[in-house]
Amino acid sequence: MKKLFLMLIMSVTMIVNAQDQKLTITAGNFITLKDQTEVNVELKFDNVTLMKENYTETQYLENRKRDLLANPKRGEAGWQKWNDEWQKYKDEYYVDYFVKGLNKGYKNIVFKKGSSAKYTLLLDTKWVYPGWHGGMVGMTAEITGTVKLIETDNPSKVLAVIELNKFDKYVNNKEFVMEYGRIAAAYEAIGKYIGKDIKKGVK
Average pLDDT of span 33-62: 97
pLDDT, tens digit, for every residue of 87-119? 999 999 999 999 999 999 999 999 999 999 999
The reported pLDDT for the residue numbered 44 is 98
Q: Are the C-beta atoms of residues 146 and 124 closer than 8 Å to each other?
A: yes
Residue 49 DSSP SS3: strand
Alpha helices in 21-155 (DSSP H): 57-69, 75-88, 94-105
Q: Is residue 50 situated within a structural domain? A: yes
Question: Is the pLDDT assigned to residue 81 strictly greater than 60?
Answer: yes
Question: Is the pLDDT assigned to residue 77 strictly greater than 90?
Answer: yes
pLDDT, tens digit, for every residue of 130-183? 999 887 788 999 999 999 999 999 999 999 999 999 999 988 888 899 999 999
The reported pLDDT for the residue numbered 174 is 85
Q: Is residue 5 situated within a structural domain? A: no
Q: Is residue 99 situated within a structural domain? A: yes
58 Ramachandran zone, left/alpha/beta (phi>0; psi -120 to 50)? alpha
Give which of 198, 16, 19 is closest to 109, Cα–Cα.
Answer: 198
Q: Is residue 1 situated within a structural domain? A: no
First to last CA, the chain: 42
Structural domain for 99, as ranges: 23-201
Structural domain tally of the chain? 1
Q: Is residue 180 situated within a structural domain? A: yes
Q: What is the C-alpha separation between 44 and 94, in angstroms, rounded?
A: 9
Q: Is residue 70 situated within a structural domain? A: yes
Q: What is the C-alpha separation between 104 and 168, in angstroms, rounded?
A: 18
Q: Is residue 6 situated within a structural domain? A: no
How far CA 65 is from CA of 17, 81, 139, in Å, comes to: 39, 11, 22
Q: What is the C-alpha separation between 144 and 156, in angstroms, rounded?
A: 22
**Residue 14: pLDDT band with limits 50, 70, 90:** very low
- H-helix or E-strand spanning residue 20: helix 2-20
The reported pLDDT for the residue numbered 143 is 98
Q: Is residue 130 situated within a structural domain? A: yes
Strands 119-129, 38-44: pairing is: parallel
Q: What is the DSSP letter of 176?
A: T
